[in-house]
């Protein structure tokens, strides 16, 4: 009998392929439904075997079968991230409503993160529904109380709003996007107010590490290099959901 983690992995990979469609078609302004899957360069319709997550990229050697243009590495990366997220959730929570809640929420975070990586925006069409889903789902299917979830959303968004306004007053420019504030409504509701400190720490830690790569790539911009923070907030929330207590013991050992 096939174990649930393997089923979850397969589902996550398939969903990752769908997330790629959502990302690409949001960025290009196309419908998610039509037309059918096609090469973004030559519009050649893809056959079924060209839509197999990860495997198709390997079989095609990273290039379109028709026009030979390179396929973006975003496609296999999104599929792999989605598959790993589904697998780790299955191991941590097993089958059930909690797994489903975090799967859907994680899908939204993956889509938003890769849009933010490319365009430095977190679209309202994802952040607001995500916040509603996070609050309602957390209250209905987890042990978190509605007050803890609501406080997480309000405190998280409030702190980032204060940071945005404070930075603007000091520097005269926005150092934090409004989309990050809206995203915090969703993330705060997911992890609760108790999970916010560790989530934000993890986000800042991973963003700092990534900033070195960003600045190396854009050496001429130096400290003015723009870095999207949404993906790292999402990563922090995902790590908190999966391993919050364990990470707390690692970073804040008691006694």
Tens digits of per-residue pLDDT, 22-52?
999 999 888 777 777 777 778 777 777 778 8
Structure confidence at residue 230 (pLDDT) = 93
**In 10 A of CB 36, how many CB atoms?**
8
Structure confidence at residue 202 (pLDDT) = 94
Least confident range of 102-111, 140-149, 192-201, 218-227: 218-227
Q: Residue with structure tokens 């849009």?
A: 115
- Give CA 119 to chain center in angstroms: 14
Mean pLDDT value across the chain:
89
Region 64-72 average pLDDT: 84
Residue 235 predicted with pLDDT over 90 = yes
Helix %, strand %, coil % of the chain (to 5)? 75, 0, 25
Give 137-161 as a 3 state SS string: HHHHHCCCCHHHHHHHHHHHHHHHH
Q: What's the CA gap between 178 and 228, in Å, rounded?
A: 12
pLDDT digits 0-9 by tens, 114-152 = 999 999 999 999 999 999 999 999 999 999 999 999 999
Structure confidence at residue 222 (pLDDT) = 53
Residue 255 predicted with pLDDT over 50 = no
Structure confidence at residue 138 (pLDDT) = 96
CA nearest neighbour of 233 among 213, 254, 206:
206
Residue 198 predicted with pLDDT over 50 = yes
Q: Are 150 and 189 in contact (CB under 8 A)?
A: yes
SS3 of 205, please? Answer: helix
Q: What's the CA gap between 26 and 32, in Å, rounded?
A: 8
CA nearest neighbour of 157 among 197, 121, 187, 119:
187
145 against 216, higher pLDDT: 145
Cα-flanking dihedrals φ and ψ of residue 226, to 5°? -80, 135
What tokens appear for 144 in the block? 């978190």
**In 10 A of CB 194, how many CB atoms?**
15
Quote the percentage of the chain above a pLDDT of 70: 93
- Whole-prediction pTM: 0.91
DSSP bridge partners of 45: 38
Region 167-194 average pLDDT: 88
Region 153-171 average pLDDT: 89
Structure confidence at residue 219 (pLDDT) = 56
174 against 24, higher pLDDT: 24
């Amino acid at each position: 009998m096939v174990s649930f983690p393997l089923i979850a992995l397969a589902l996550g990979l398939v969903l990752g392929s769908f997330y790629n469609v959502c990302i690409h078609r949001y960025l290009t302004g196309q419908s998610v439904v039509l037309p059918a899957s096609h090469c973004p360069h030559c519009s050649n319709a893809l056959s079924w075997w060209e839509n197999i997550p990860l495997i198709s990229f390997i079989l095609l050697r990273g290039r379109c079968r028709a026009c030979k243009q390179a396929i973006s590495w975003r496609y296999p990366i999104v599929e792999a991230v989605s598959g790993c997220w589904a697998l780790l959730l299955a191991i941590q929570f097993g089958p059930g409503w909690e797994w489903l809640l975090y799967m859907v929420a994680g899908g939204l975070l993956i889509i938003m993160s890769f849009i933010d990586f490319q365009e430095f925006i977190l679209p309202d069409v994802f952040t607001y529904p995500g916040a509603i889903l996070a609050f309602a789902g957390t209250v209905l299917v987890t042990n978190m109380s509605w007050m803890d979830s609501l406080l997480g959303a309000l405190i998280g968004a409030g702190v980032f709003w204060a940071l945005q306004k404070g930075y603007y007053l000091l520097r005269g420019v926005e150092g934090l996007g409004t989309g990050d504030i809206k995203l915090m409504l969703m993330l705060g509701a997911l992890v609760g107010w108790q999970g916010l400190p560790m989530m934000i720490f993890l986000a800042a830690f991973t963003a700092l590490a990534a900033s070195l790569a960003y600045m190396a790539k854009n050496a001429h911009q130096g400290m003015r290099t723009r870095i999207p923070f949404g993906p790292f907030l999402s990563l922090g929330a995902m790590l908190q959901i999966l391993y919050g207590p364990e990470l707390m013991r690692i970073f804040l050992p008691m006694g």
